Structure 1
Amino acid sequence: MKLYYHPLSGHSHRARLFLNLIGAQHELVEVDLMAGAHKKPEFLALNPFGQVPVLDDNGTVVTDSNAILVYVAKKLKLTDWLPDDPVASAAVQKWLSVAAGQIAYGPAAARLITVFGAGFKPEEVITRAHAVLAVIEAQLSGGSFMVAASPTVADVALYSYIARAPEGNVDLQAYPNVRAWLARIEALPGFVEFRKTPVGLAA
């Protein structure tokens, strides 16, 4: 497997983290976003949306970070990470949608302002970030991980941008369950850190 990624992309880290947690052999191919490599014809041939990450599994190309998580879990039959049970499966899908929605437009967007100079309104995206963090905090009051007693791809999908939320001036101090959950993920065998950037509250 080849994973096309960028070290400051939380979507990329999401895919890289999962491959490491399950011990899947893979080659990392860094895409130079600053140089516009993701908009070059050779990369657009892999992903017409011009986004990282992209997984190339011996010619099977999978784009979108959450799709990569699902593809790898399904291919390797990792039912602990992606349950077959209808209720648990639906719960995982719900949190994958949250990762693609409220997380992307909350803590991820707030971080895009400080790390990449994105033109979002800080007060708007930070307010969104705290709204979704409050829901996740309540969810984690009932267990160690988001869906089951052990981690699933839902936890992986949510982790990266929440872990680096302070870089976007989103304070995690009011969320003890979230902070304990982050620590549990970081203690998992195979964990790989999302590169830190000294900006926002992390400056």
Structure 2
Amino acid sequence: MKLYHHPLSGHAHRARLFVSLLGIPHELVEVDLRTGAHKTPEFFALNPFGQVPVLDDDGTVVSDSNAILVYLATKLGRTDWLPADAKGAAAVQRWLSVAAGEIAYGPAAARLITVFGAKYDPEDVIGRAHVLLKRLEAHLADRDWLVGARPTIADVALYSYLASAPEGNVDLSPYPRVNAFLRRIEALPGFVPFAKTPVGLSPAA
């Protein structure tokens, strides 16, 4: 199994984190985004959208980080990570949509400005991030995990860009429950950290 990734991509880390939490032997293949390796004909053959991550499971190619989470959990029958019942599956899917929406256009976009020089409006995307964080803080008032009594792929999907939000100048200090949630994920067996960059707020912020 090969996982094409870039160490500073939160989407790629999302997939790498889950592969590691599952304990699956895999080969990491770094795609150099800065030199345009994701825009070559060879990479477009793997993913026509030219994005990481991409999973190559012995010829079965899966692109999109959330799709990779679903693929691995389903293939391995890991209903602990992706519930098989309709209610549980729908609850997880709701948070996968948050990962693709509110996370992508909030904390992830804020980090893209500082790490990759993206041309977003900082005030707008940081504001979006805080709207999401307030909702998450409320959601975690009476629970440890986003769905049910144990971690699922919903938690994995949100982790990387929440943990790295300070790099995009998004202050996490007003959200103790969100911070505790991040620490719980980091304590899971097989956890691998997301690479840090020196931009944004200091760790003490």
TM bracket, shorter-chain basis: over 0.9
**Secondary structure, aligned partner of 2:3:** strand
Distance across 2 between alignment mates of 1:200 and 1:134 = 20
Query: What runs of 5+ residues in structure 1 fail to find an aligned partner?
Result: none
Whether 2:26 is the aligned partner of 1:26: answer yes
Whether 2:145 is the aligned partner of 1:150: answer no
Distance across 1 between alignment mates of 2:84 and 2:174 = 34
RMSD: 0.7
Deviation (angstroms), 1:128: 0.2
What is the one-letter code of the residue matched to 1:97?
Answer: S
Percent of aligned pairs sharing the same letter: 72
2:108 alignment counterpart: 108
Query: What runs of 5+ residues in structure 2 fail to find an aligned partner?
Result: none
**Secondary structure, aligned partner of 1:202:** coil
Distance across 2 between alignment mates of 1:196 and 1:46 = 27
**Secondary structure, aligned partner of 1:129:** helix
1:43 alignment counterpart: 43
Whether 2:12 is the aligned partner of 1:12: answer yes
What is the one-letter code of the residue matched to 1:167?
Answer: E
Deviation (angstroms), 1:87: 1.1
CA displacement, residues 82-140 of structure 1 (integer Å, 9 cap, x when unaligned) = 00121111110000000000000000000000000000000000000000111111111
**Secondary structure, aligned partner of 2:34:** coil
Distance across 2 between alignment mates of 1:142 and 1:74 = 28
Aligned pairs, number:
203
Q: Could you state the TM-score of these two structures normalised by the residue count of structure 1?
A: 0.99
Distance across 2 between alignment mates of 1:5 and 1:138 = 33
Query: Which ranges of 4 or more aligned residues in structure 1 deviate by more than 3 Å?
Result: none
**Secondary structure, aligned partner of 1:150:** coil
1:195 alignment counterpart: 195
What is the one-letter code of the residue matched to 2:149?
Answer: A
Equivalences for 1:1-203 in 2 at 5 Å?
A: 1-202=1-202
Q: Could you state the TM-score of these two structures normalised by the residue count of structure 2?
A: 0.98
Distance across 2 between alignment mates of 1:139 and 1:22 = 26
